[in-house]
């Protein structure tokens, strides 16, 4: 049967359904539409469906023109009606996998999505999970729920796991330029999934199991989290010695082997790096394995906002001011430059911690006009970005750079600011007014 399904892919007769039209799912829709496939997007958020139908984006780095082109192809429809799952041939699940308050995996979105599609599954469909999760999720959580509809997950369905590798806003590596890792429940499922993904990416890397593919994704992100923790710790040590950690890293990376540059910051943000390591530490306990190295890295990274607040307080103190009662402007609240994504952004923790010290806090972000409700910082919802005018900049006792957006004139910022606390080395090229700059 798999041969006929592969042939259907080659003829572009396969209809691809993408569940979850966010930062991962929507670029997948674009990729399959560009490759000539008919696509159906599913989401529980009706506002997203209406926005897509109107040709309007809700993700700033994916412009309206891209949505308009998608609609113009005539191959795409969006819906909140999950009964239409039976009308597609391949189902790609791109739903959130956050942590609970206890830092344990929250499988709510995967479970509810599987429950929503199970009654409508038909024999021969491919179901691929793309959400980042712990090894065993596809086989132990997803598969049993899919089988509630009466189909055998290893005989009637093709169930696979292929982790998303999105880097929102990355102009060099978009969805169609990043290799896909694919694991599956059966050899036929892996062959089918691999062939489908080969239509949109330059390289597909098959691995022996779903658990292996799940571990690949965690390893990639744990690697980043641990190395970022290392340079964050070095930042603190070198600052005590009067050494600029960014200068050290820039010089070290000239070595053509044996070194890979990572950069410090005010903490970790985004939908992957602050969360994924804890998926493995949680699962490892089932096997009575300690993950001390990963957990220590987590402690270092989680402590960074407190370190930044301490540096801010010291900078104000050197200017005969107290943090309590000062006016502080946070520059950038998205978790990375040039995107509007605030998930797990350390800037939100900074706003809360600085306000708790008695300061008045505002923010400016050209990509985030208003802070939406978040799981950890609901109290900040509704805050609006203030203008970055010379008069406004000068009215704050300190400007704290939390995110280094590329469209900010940092020389202009330093010129008019009383004090700049830079957590991203955004002011590295500023020449005039360097006495105002404090690295954090």
What residues are annotated to the active site? 272
Q: Are 362 and 332 in contact, with CB atoms under 8 Å apart?
A: no
The distance of Cα 420 from the centroid of its chain, to the nearest Å, equals: 28
389-412 in b/e form (b: 16+ CB < 10 A) is eeeebeebbbbbbbbbbeebebee
Q: Mind giving me the DSSP string for 155-170?
A: TTSEEEE------TT-
Tally of helices (H runs) and strands (E runs) in the chain: 15, 13
Nearest 5 degrees, angle CA 396-CA 399-CA 403? Answer: 145
Strand partners, 38: 15
Which of 62, 18, 60, 102 lies closest to 375 in space, CA to CA?
102
Q: Give the burial class of 154: count Cβ atoms within 10 A of its Cβ; 0-12 exposed, 13-18 middle, 19 or more buried.
A: middle
User: Which tokens go with 260?
Assistant: 């890979």
């Amino acid at each position: 049967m798999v041969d006929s399904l592969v042939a259907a892919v080659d003829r572009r007769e396969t209809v691809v359904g993408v569940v979850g039209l966010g930062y991962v799912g929507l670029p997948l829709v674009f990729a399959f539409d560009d490759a000539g496939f008919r696509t159906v997007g599913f989401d529980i958020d009706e506002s997203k469906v209406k926005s897509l139908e109107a040709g309007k984006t809700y993700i700033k780095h994916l412009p309206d023109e891209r949505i308009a082109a998608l609609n113009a192809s005539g191959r795409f429809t969006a819906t909140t009606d999950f009964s239409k799952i039976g009308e597609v041939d391949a189902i790609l699940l791109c739903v959130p996998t956050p942590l609970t308050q206890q830092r344990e995996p929250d499988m709510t979105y995967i479970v509810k999505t599987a429950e929503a599609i199970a009654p409508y599954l038909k024999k021969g469909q491919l179901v691929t999970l793309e959400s980042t999760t712990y090894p065993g999720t596809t086989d132990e959580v997803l598969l049993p729920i899919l089988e509630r509809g009466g189909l055998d997950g290893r005989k009637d369905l093709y169930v696979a796991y292929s982790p998303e590798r999105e880097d929102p806003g990355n102009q060099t590596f978009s969805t169609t330029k990043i290799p896909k890792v694919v694991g599956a429940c059966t050899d036929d499922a892996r062959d089918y999934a691999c062939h489908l993904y080969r239509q949109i990416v330059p390289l597909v890397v098959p691995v022996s199991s779903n658990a292996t593919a799940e571990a690949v994704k965690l390893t990639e992100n744990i690697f980043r989290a641990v190395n970022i923790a290392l340079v964050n710790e070095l930042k603190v040590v070198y600052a005590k010695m009067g050494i600029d950690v960014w200068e050290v890293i820039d010089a070290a990376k000239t070595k053509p082997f044996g070194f890979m540059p990572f950069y410090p910051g005010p903490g970790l943000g985004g939908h992957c790096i602050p969360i994924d390591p804890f998926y493995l530490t949680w699962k490892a306990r089932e096997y009575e394995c300690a993950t001390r190295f990963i957990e220590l890295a987590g402690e270092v990274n989680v402590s960074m906002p407190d370190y930044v607040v301490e540096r801010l307080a010291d900078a104000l103190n050197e200017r005969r001011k107290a943090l309590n009662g000062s006016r502080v402007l946070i520059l950038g609240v998205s978790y990375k430059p040039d995107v509007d994504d605030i998930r797990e952004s350390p800037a939100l923790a900074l706003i809360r911690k600085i306000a708790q010290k008695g300061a008045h806090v505002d923010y400016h972000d050209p990509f985030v006009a208003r802070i939406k409700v978040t799981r950890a910082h609901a109290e900040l919802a509704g805050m609006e970005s203030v203008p970055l005018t010379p008069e406004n900049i000068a009215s704050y006792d300190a400007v704290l750079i939390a995110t280094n957006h590329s469209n900010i004139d940092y020389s202009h910022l330093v010129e008019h600011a009383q004090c700049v606390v830079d957590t991203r080395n955004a002011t590295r090229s500023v020449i005039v007014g360097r006495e105002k700059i404090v690295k954090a």
